[in-house]
Structure 1
Amino acid sequence: MYKILLVDDSDLSRKIVKTALEQNEYQVICAKNGPEAVECVKSVNDIDLILMDIELESGKDGIDTAKEILRIKNLPITFLTANSSKEILEKIEGLGNYGYISKGIEKYAFLSSVQSAINLFNSVSEAKFYQSIYENASEEIYIFDFEKNEILSVNNSACENLNYSKFDLSGASIFKVMPELEHEIKNMFNNLKEGKNEIKFNQKNKRKDSTVYFTENKISLTFYKSRSIGVIVSTDVTEKKRLEKEKEENQKRLNAMIEGVPSPALLVSKDNIIMNQNKAAEINFEFGIGMTFDSSILDEQTFSKKDLSEEKINTEQKNHEKEAHNNSKEIFYKSRYWNLHIIKLGEDNLYYFVDVTEYKEMENKLFEMAIKDELTGTFNRRYFTNKLKEETERSKRTGRAFSIIMLDLDDFKLINDKYGHCIGDVVLKSVVNSINDRLRKIDLLARWGGEEFMIILPETNIDNARFVANSILEKISHIKIGDIPKITASIGISEYNLSEDYKALIKRADDRMYEAKRSGKNCAKS
């Protein structure tokens, strides 16, 4: 599991990024500012990647924090930034071990970028890693001159198993420890020269005290400086044979258990081959014994990440932590929702699926009901207020403008009184459709109450907000519903001021809306 240090001064951003990473099996440590990040680097070992917001609180930005960290440890740092200007990129490039990811990119593109950053840094130390593997491998590894049959190098496992030192074996004949190989070495050499990748063989290796043990071996041929070099990987299989017999007996008991459970169950090998499945799995899935298990279904999500509210994010994170503890996942497969429980059985896995489609559909419906207005399908007042708080915090952090619109239908009570509430409902739905036609995907429309609606316009100053408001009035004026009179609305507009809170912003829009009412209605005031 990769360990990531996430540095971001936004609680919400940290929660969103942390949840996405942990659901993809990254371990995440969080810091809110530069000093906290530096302390984490000093105290936490094995950090694989640092994800750092460029704009941080506490007077030290992400670039200065990165410089201090790199003086302590050589770690890869990837910046999370919404600003990809030439000036920012030049500062980042001056650091070394750098990278950056634009904020707001799609989840899987973000996760791919994170993994690419880790892979790039790891490649730098790959040579040392392979050397470590060679020396510390549990298998015995012999490198020898194929034509002279002289040992050039052996790893630590070979020395320990044979009770020889590296000095004892350097320059010695390979037949000293593999006497049976002498009868086959010429044929092996010829077959390998003719293009065979490797040859497998079984034999007895001979220790210094002349005792022997059974091994499984693979021999391959490579060339270095005009020399024919042989490489033998040798494995002691004494314990393996005992375990295989024990596993065979356990397998029989497990197969009987799998067939007895009512939900789909698959027994999958470490190589993702289906070794057994019950009738329920055969009926529900398109798998079969001997086929490769489609492990990609483990990455499918039961719900789309909508970033709907802080409460939802907290709930999802708790669910994820619970899943991680129970080694289970939620997936959507074959038009059904499943709880997938993964049970380790030695090197194999038992995948046990529980159909929770009815529960998930009800959960999703209840969640939609909690944040949406039932009649119009727009977001409700509570959700709007939460998102407005987030937008004000974002504006304080970035200094970027945003505006809100308060819209109230003119004389709506007269429509209800004369034509009835059913027609009034049709009017409200038509108005919502007209408003949505004039909004971007990033804008947010909510029903404030009755015939009042609120709109958040991110990245929008007062002049552009005024243009949007007038285009909405124009769109609404063209609504035709039976013989009811022309539908109009009064609009109040306010641009966020960094010195105020969200309540003051709403009040200013409300005041402007009543000013529009007093000015004869069917207009926008800002």
Structure 2
Amino acid sequence: MHTGKKILLVEDSRFITAVVGDYLKKNGFEIDSVATGEDAVEIVCGHSAWDLILMDIELAGEMNGIEAAKIINNHKELPIIFLTANASDTIINQIRNISAYGFIEKGMDNTALLATIEMALKLHDVKSEIKQKESILNAVINSVQDGMIMTDDKGYVSLWNPAAVQLFGYTKDEMLGKELHELTAAESMNKNDIINSLFADKKVKELKIKHKNGQVFDAEISTSTLKINDKDYFVGIFRDISDRIKAREELEKLSVTDYLTNTYNRRFFVTRLEEEIERSKRTGRVFSIAMLDIDRFKTINDKYGHSIGDLVLQSITGYIKKRIRKVDCLARWGGEEFMILLADTPIINSGVLLEDLRLGISKIEIPNVDRFTGSFGVVEYAPGDTADMMIQKADSMMYEAKKCGRNCIKYMM
């Protein structure tokens, strides 16, 4: 339980507000809600104290959630998680650019929502603790604790503080008068590319940096320029954000992963399928998808309990993941149904693998549990097919397999 933690829910749907609000209250959170970005900015930037904001992107009023979050971030450092029905690349990039703590797609299960909130609160607590410690340390030693570096417009270092020594591993004597671009781990970037990147209009950026020992880490760089005697200089404040990047990647992974089976979720599979269709249009190379349904799974749950049912699903997906290639994709479609995308694999070439999967599933042993089987429906991409069409075809073939006695594979040729 999260007694005392306060969440502001910014959502203009009364239904979603009620459902999400009630669920979070049951888990110990204090919840208040508003329907517009304007109201969110007013209440948060006032004197009210919040631990986290759960923000819809499309809101009533003139201001959307992303615009409201930008204003709030300029006034207060609060973890903001977005609710969205549109998880396009454009939306995700906008979320990243305002230092949000991730997003949850509307319609995902409550467990994923709770896990994302808990991770965001923990990450925010860690960041707050780090910031407090940095402030104390700054006051004690009266110096900058992030790496501070200054170069001329040619990229030659003229200032290198003690924190930079710790961050990069190079001593001051090793770096003064040397070229900063030698530090970068982006081997594809030449000297001019790096200098132009550092002097770009964007004042805060992320780069891959190489330590003296060769280890590569993620750094955030806050940049500014100044002019001395008509000569331009670059000033950069560098900090290691490896932990932040790791947490962000974990949040992103959570948003596309089924929590029980650790396979991809339905939303990710549809996106991947649409990408594969576009790739096939460009290259002419076909692929196949298969829908798998675990036979009589309800009987397993009724006879042994849901914990054993979960173990069955985990055992099956664990087996399949070991058999398919990295370029393929396994996703939980819902309940006991799964989708498999076989990249660059015509339906005629899919039979050996799928038959192996069918047999392998039937041979999985769980102590004191009856054997179980699966039924497959397989379809190959045809010009003009959409993602929905392919999924419907695979679903139809899977039901044909069910009608034929289960534990078999049906192909749409």
TM-score bucket of the superposed structures, by smaller chain: 0.5 to 0.7
Q: Does 1:516 align with 2:393?
A: no
- Given that 1:331 and 1:340 are in contact with CA atoms closer than 8 Å, whether structure 2 keeps it comes out as no
Displacement after TM superposition at 1:462 (Å) = 1.4
Q: Does 1:360 align with 2:237?
A: no
Q: Does 1:295 align with 2:167?
A: no
Q: Does 1:388 align with 2:273?
A: yes
Map 1:30-429 to 2 at 5 A.
260-268=143-151, 274-292=157-175, 295-300=181-186, 325-326=202-203, 328-331=205-208, 337-344=218-225, 346=231, 348-429=233-314
Question: 2:118 maps to what in 1?
Answer: none
Q: Which amino acid aligns with 1:360?
A: I
Once residues 359 and 452 of structure 1 are traced to their aligned partners in structure 2, the CA distance between those partners, rounded to angstroms, is 35
**TM-score, length-scaled by structure 2:** 0.55
Question: 2:347 maps to what in 1?
Answer: 462
Displacement after TM superposition at 1:452 (Å) = 0.7
Once residues 372 and 297 of structure 1 are traced to their aligned partners in structure 2, the CA distance between those partners, rounded to angstroms, is 35
Please list the CA deviations of residues 101-138 of structure 1 after superposition, one character each: whole Å capped at 9, or x if unmatched. xxxxxxxxxxxxxxxxxxxxxxxxxxxxxxxxxxxxxx
Q: Secondary structure at the match of 1:379?
A: coil
**CA 1:321 to 1:501, structure 2 compared with 1: closer, same or farther past 3 Å?**
farther
Question: 2:359 maps to what in 1?
Answer: 474
Once residues 312 and 239 of structure 2 are traced to their aligned partners in structure 1, the CA distance between those partners, rounded to angstroms, is 45
Please list the CA deviations of residues 70-103 of structure 1 after superposition, one character each: whole Å capped at 9, or x if unmatched. xxxxxxxxxxxxxxxxxxxxxxxxxxxxxxxxxx
Relative contact order higher in (CA < 8 Å, ≥ 6 apart):
2
- Given that 1:392 and 1:496 are in contact with CA atoms closer than 8 Å, whether structure 2 keeps it comes out as yes
- Given that 1:327 and 1:343 are in contact with CA atoms closer than 8 Å, whether structure 2 keeps it comes out as no
Once residues 461 and 450 of structure 1 are traced to their aligned partners in structure 2, the CA distance between those partners, rounded to angstroms, is 28
Q: Which amino acid aligns with 2:309?
A: G
- Given that 1:298 and 1:329 are in contact with CA atoms closer than 8 Å, whether structure 2 keeps it comes out as no
- Given that 2:295 and 2:372 are in contact with CA atoms closer than 8 Å, whether structure 1 keeps it comes out as yes
RMSD over aligned CA atoms reads 3.3
Q: Secondary structure at the match of 1:473?
A: helix
Once residues 283 and 221 of structure 2 are traced to their aligned partners in structure 1, the CA distance between those partners, rounded to angstroms, is 42
**CA 1:295 to 1:419, structure 2 compared with 1: closer, same or farther past 3 Å?**
farther
The gaps in structure 2 that reach 5 residues or longer are 1-88, 94-141, 188-196
Once residues 490 and 502 of structure 1 are traced to their aligned partners in structure 2, the CA distance between those partners, rounded to angstroms, is 21
Q: Which amino acid aligns with 1:441?
A: K
Q: Which amino acid aligns with 1:350?
A: V
Displacement after TM superposition at 1:509 (Å) = 0.8
- Rg: which structure is higher? 1
Once residues 385 and 299 of structure 2 are traced to their aligned partners in structure 1, the CA distance between those partners, rounded to angstroms, is 37
Question: 1:488 maps to what in 2?
Answer: 373
Once residues 362 and 322 of structure 1 are traced to their aligned partners in structure 2, the CA distance between those partners, rounded to angstroms, is 28
Displacement after TM superposition at 1:525 (Å) = 0.6
The gaps in structure 1 that reach 5 residues or longer are 1-14, 20-258, 302-319
- Given that 2:288 and 2:345 are in contact with CA atoms closer than 8 Å, whether structure 1 keeps it comes out as yes
- Given that 1:265 and 1:280 are in contact with CA atoms closer than 8 Å, whether structure 2 keeps it comes out as yes
Question: 1:119 maps to what in 2?
Answer: none
Q: Which runs of 4+ in 1 moved over 6 A?
A: 320-323
Question: 2:104 maps to what in 1?
Answer: none
- Given that 1:274 and 1:289 are in contact with CA atoms closer than 8 Å, whether structure 2 keeps it comes out as no
- Given that 2:328 and 2:340 are in contact with CA atoms closer than 8 Å, whether structure 1 keeps it comes out as yes
Displacement after TM superposition at 1:385 (Å) = 0.7
Displacement after TM superposition at 1:466 (Å) = 2.2
Displacement after TM superposition at 1:282 (Å) = 3.1
Displacement after TM superposition at 1:322 (Å) = 12
Q: Secondary structure at the match of 2:359?
A: helix
- Given that 1:406 and 1:493 are in contact with CA atoms closer than 8 Å, whether structure 2 keeps it comes out as yes
Question: 1:237 maps to what in 2?
Answer: none
Question: 1:504 maps to what in 2?
Answer: 389
Q: Secondary structure at the match of 1:500?
A: coil
**CA 1:324 to 1:366, structure 2 compared with 1: closer, same or farther past 3 Å?**
farther
- Given that 1:462 and 1:495 are in contact with CA atoms closer than 8 Å, whether structure 2 keeps it comes out as yes
User: How many aligned residue pairs are there?
Assistant: 254
Displacement after TM superposition at 1:397 (Å) = 3.1
- Given that 1:329 and 1:339 are in contact with CA atoms closer than 8 Å, whether structure 2 keeps it comes out as yes
Once residues 172 and 159 of structure 2 are traced to their aligned partners in structure 1, the CA distance between those partners, rounded to angstroms, is 6
Once residues 329 and 478 of structure 1 are traced to their aligned partners in structure 2, the CA distance between those partners, rounded to angstroms, is 49
Question: 2:119 maps to what in 1?
Answer: none
- Percent identity at matched positions? 36
**CA 1:417 to 1:296, structure 2 compared with 1: closer, same or farther past 3 Å?**
farther
Once residues 339 and 361 of structure 1 are traced to their aligned partners in structure 2, the CA distance between those partners, rounded to angstroms, is 13
Q: Which amino acid aligns with 1:325?
A: K
Q: Which amino acid aligns with 1:282?
A: V
Question: 2:329 maps to what in 1?
Answer: 444
**CA 1:322 to 1:434, structure 2 compared with 1: closer, same or farther past 3 Å?**
farther
Once residues 216 and 185 of structure 2 are traced to their aligned partners in structure 1, the CA distance between those partners, rounded to angstroms, is 15
Once residues 356 and 201 of structure 2 are traced to their aligned partners in structure 1, the CA distance between those partners, rounded to angstroms, is 50
Displacement after TM superposition at 1:270 (Å) = 6.6
Displacement after TM superposition at 1:479 (Å) = 1.3
Question: 1:129 maps to what in 2?
Answer: none
Please list the CA deviations of residues 420-439 of structure 1 after superposition, one character each: whole Å capped at 9, or x if unmatched. 22222222121112112221
**CA 1:437 to 1:328, structure 2 compared with 1: closer, same or farther past 3 Å?**
closer
Q: Which amino acid aligns with 1:338?
A: A
**TM-score, length-scaled by structure 1:** 0.44
**CA 1:516 to 1:323, structure 2 compared with 1: closer, same or farther past 3 Å?**
farther
- Given that 2:199 and 2:225 are in contact with CA atoms closer than 8 Å, whether structure 1 keeps it comes out as no
